[in-house]
Structure formats: structure tokens, C-alpha cells
Structure 1
């Protein structure tokens, strides 16, 4: 070990200690949520004055989870949220990446105008268009599948696809794909075209294999946004059949005396799928953020 390497050891140890302390700060709420989900209300408040609040110690029970499934109908709401998120993200990856491919790799008239419109859409809050969008989907005929078969309905309201279709195309996802695709050398496209490839074949065999990090990033970001949807389903899904998790949680606990153990159990069940998705895709997510220069 060289003298310069030995001198850098204290600095590295201090850096690791700082990183560990920062990680603990962010872990505190998560640990508190999981530990409290196994405790009664009295036990939660009794442990607040010590580090026992972060640990699953004392009289523990799984009754909070049982009541979340029994009274909160969480199984049905969980299925709805998984279905809406899965379909929206899957279709969104295809639609948004193809749109970005056309913007980044193909020359055509009006491309700059579309890019300008895309940037404008990035700064428009969804709350601004939520009411006009609700009036639009309320006037669109839809399909209802039930015991009587497939029937035409007079509105998209109170359905699963009202939560899916408006969010498949996403300006921010298109922009992320565009930023990443633009940095891929165009020599690869030209070589493929010389071999007789079509634009779709270039997209499938050249661009997609080179862009797995940004696909993972969009999967996480769009999946998280859809999983946390609250305002839109609150105003468009009044019934229970298509209700997602977030609205279901508010409906369940809004009219009852707060049982914090049940709240923490419900919150834990909501958080786990998102955490699992991030753990699976984190390597590509970090690579994409670094490679595309995404900030914030």
C-alpha cells in the first residue's frame, strides 16, 4: 500500500460513516412502519420514546394484516392496482419508446415542433387537465364484461381502462427515451440500413438491446406514478369494483377510528411491491440516470 493510499483511508472511513448515517435516517420511517404493523395501538405509543419503536419487539400480532384483508378489501384493491400498473407500464414502454425513436433517430418534417410541444407538456401539471379529461372520458362509450357477457356502457367512468388509457403515452417517459436514444451512435443504424433493415428492425435489434437501463428507469418511474395514483381514480372510480389501493385505503380508514397498526400494515403491503421492483431494476436505473444526465 502506497503512502497516498494509507492517507486516504481515514477519509474513506469518514465517507462510509456519513453514508451509513444518511442511510439510517432514510430507513427510520420504513423500519417504524414495518415494526408498528405487528403491534397494537397501545404498544406503538408505548414504544415511541425509545428505539423499540423501530424494532418488532414486545407483544406482536398478525391481526393487523388480517383485518386489512378482511375489512379493507385489500386483496381486490391490490389486484386492481397491479393490473392497472402492469398494463399501463407495459404498453407505455412500447408506445413511448417508439415515439422517442421517431424523434431521435428518424428525420421528418415537423419533428422540432413536436419536440417543443413535448417540452411544454412536461411543465403542465396533471391537476390542470384532470377535470376536462374527466368530462371527456365520461362521454366516451366503453365495454363492460360481466355475467351477462360483454355490454356497451355509456361512459368510461368506474372502469379499469379509464385508469389505463390516458396514461399510456407519457411526455416525461418519451423525453427520457429521447435523451438516451440520441446518445447511441447513429453508425449502428446506418450499418443496419445497409444490410436492408427497416426502421422497426433497427428499433428492435439495435436500439432496444442498447437501451435496457432507460427501459428499467421508465419502468420504475412510470410504475411508481401509476401505483401512487390517487386524484384521478378518486374522481373517476366511485364504485368498489375498479377501485385501486390508494383510494381504497382512504375509504377504509376515513370513516373509522384510527387503528395505527392496521394503517401501518396496509402501508407495508402497498410499499413492498414498489420496493421489490426497485431492488430488481436498481442496477439499470442507476446506469440510466448517470448515462442520460437526469437530475432531481
Structure 2
């Protein structure tokens, strides 16, 4: 009875909040269908007079968008795959294995959550620039560019993260100890226990990290701007600057390109939504 009492007002509140969050997306789509004359009109025009996809066609003709999308898809895919592997193994180790210094190492990893990424950008840039035997560098990391202006430079800083390790650790702490005992009785090593027992049961947390890492990597603007210096290495976020110059912003083309860029993330979230919510809930049950 108590739950029914609050269901209607809570549902109404959620509906209003959903509309508020959808308004910017709706305006973006509508703007992508307008002409520059309609956008710059003194009186706001909500719905364009003539709906046309011309803006989308012309926007994609500015620059090599097939290359930009490939770069973003490739960087995002590799980042997500390697992140799942590294974070799940680290989370499993902190949650289920017992070794000296485990809690201290986990505490050190959590410190990364407290450091703003802007603080580490210059140190990470210098590390990537001086990677030995990469990008023309000698074995001391001198003489070349290292991983600057390369896929490795775009991927490496994001393949591991404190938040992903934390999520997996919290998720694996919820598993009963009987699983490990049964695995030992069957003669499974820690590696086989992780691979054959824990990984198949980890769909919710895997889906959660896929959504989070894909969103982070796909939407990243500042780091690609710093670490790349050629058009062939541009990601889709950097390519949006094609529609802006010193005097004006071509809002119709910019909104059309932005709409296309948002679609892959929407598809990822729609497919991962069920497991995403489940993973967030279950990873926070036990500390």
C-alpha cells in the first residue's frame, strides 16, 4: 500500500525528468534539419519549414568522415576489449585471491579516482612520447615521437582505470565462497576458476563497463586534441571543428554531424541497458 501511494508521483517526476533530458537531443535533431536562415532568424523557429537531409549529406562531404569514424570505432573497440580484460582480472584478484599487500594495492588504485584527469595529462603525454623503440625513439626513449600521433597513444591511457577495477571487485565480492571451494576440489587453478566460472557469470558488470568505457572513449575530445597532430588520426569529436572557423559556426552542419555521432552510443546503451542497470546495482551491494 505504501509503495502504491508514492508510485504515481514518482512516475510523474521521472517522466518530467526524462522530458527535460530529451529536450536538448530533440533540439539538436531539429536544428540539424534547419537551414542557416531558419537558425539565425530573429524569431525562434521550432520545427523547420522544409524537412530535408541535405545538411547530413553536406556535412559528411566536409573532410574524410569515413576515416574519422574508423578511428573512433577502432580506438573505442580496442579500449573496451582491453579494459574488460585488465579490469576484470584485477577486480577478481582483489576480491577472491589472498596475497600480501592486497588491500594496500587496492587502496593505492582507488587514489586514482581522486585525481582529476587534467592533472595527469602532461605526465602521461611525456611518458608516451618517450616510449623506448617506438615512433623513431631509441632504447632510451629519445629521438622520436614515441606513441604520439598513433593509435597506441589514443588507447593506452584508457585501457585501465580505478573505477573499472572497483566495479569488478565489488561485483565479485558478492559471489559465495563455495564457488572457489568447489573449483579447488575440481582441481581448477585461479586462472581457470576466473575464466570458466567468474567470467560466464559476469555479464551484468561486463555490460556496465562496456557502456561506460565506450562512452568515455567515444566522447573524448581533449586527449585526442593533445596527442594527435594529423588529419588521418582525427576522431569524430575533433572532426566537429570542421564546422567552426574564426567568424562563425555552421550550426546546421554541426548538429547534423553530432546527431550521427550520438547514434552509435545510443545503440550500445539500448543493447546493454538491462545488464547495465543490474551491474550498477549488484556492484554496490557489498563493500
TM-score of the pair, normalised by structure 2: 0.89
Correspondence for 1:179 among 154, 165, 170: 170
- Structure 2 match to 1:136: 127
Cα displacement string for residues 111-152 of structure 1 (whole angstroms, at most 9, x for unaligned residues):
1121111111111111111111111211223369xxxxxxxx
Task: Give the counterpart of 1:19 among 14, 17, 20.
Answer: 14
Distance in 2 (CA, whole Å) between partners of 1:48 and 1:185 is 63
- Unmatched 5+ residue regions in structure 1? 145-152
The 1:218–1:48 alpha-carbon spacing in structure 2 relative to 1, beyond 3 Å, is farther
CA distance in 2, matches of 1:253, 1:73: 16
Q: 2:272 aligns with which of 247, 268, 281?
A: 281
1:216 and 1:285 in contact (8 A); partners too: yes
Please identify, of 250-259 and 87-96, the stretch whose mean Cα deviation from structure 2 is larger: 250-259
Which secondary structure does the structure 1 equivalent of 2:85 belong to?
helix
Whether the 8 Å CA contact 2:168–2:283 is kept in 1: the answer is no
The aligned counterpart of 1:159 is: 150
Q: Which residue of 2 aligns with 1:257?
A: 248
Structure 2 unaligned regions, length at least 5: 137-143
Q: Distance in 2 between matches of 1:255 and 1:65?
A: 23
Confirm or deny that 1:205 pairs with 2:196.
yes
Residue 150 (structure 1) aligns with: none
Could you list the per-position Cα deviations for residues 171-191 of structure 1 after superposition, in whole angstroms to 9, with x for gaps in the alignment? 111111111111111211110
1:54-93 paired onto structure 2 within 5 Å: 55=47, 57-93=48-84
Give the CA RMSD over aligned residues.
Answer: 2.4
Aligned residue in 2 for 1:148:
none
Change (3 A) 1:47 1:102: farther
Pair 1:192-2:183 in alignment: yes
How far apart in 1 are the matches of 2:281 and 2:221? 30
| Aligned-pair CA distance for 1:223 | 1.1
CA distance in 1: counterparts of 2:99 and 2:4, whole angstroms: 54
Consecutive aligned runs of 4 or more in structure 1 exceeding 6 Å deviation? none
**1:248-291 Cα shifts (integer Å, max 9, x gaps):** 21254244621111111111011111111111101011111121
- Whether 1:37 and 2:32 are equivalent positions in the alignment is yes
State the number of aligned residues.
278
What CA distance in whole angstroms lies between the structure 2 residues aligned with 1:17 and 1:96?
Answer: 38
**After alignment, is 68-77 or 172-181 more displaced?**
68-77
**Superposed CA offset, 1:194-233 (max 9, x none):** 0111111111121112221111111111111111111111
Q: 2:235 aligns with which of 236, 244, 247?
A: 244
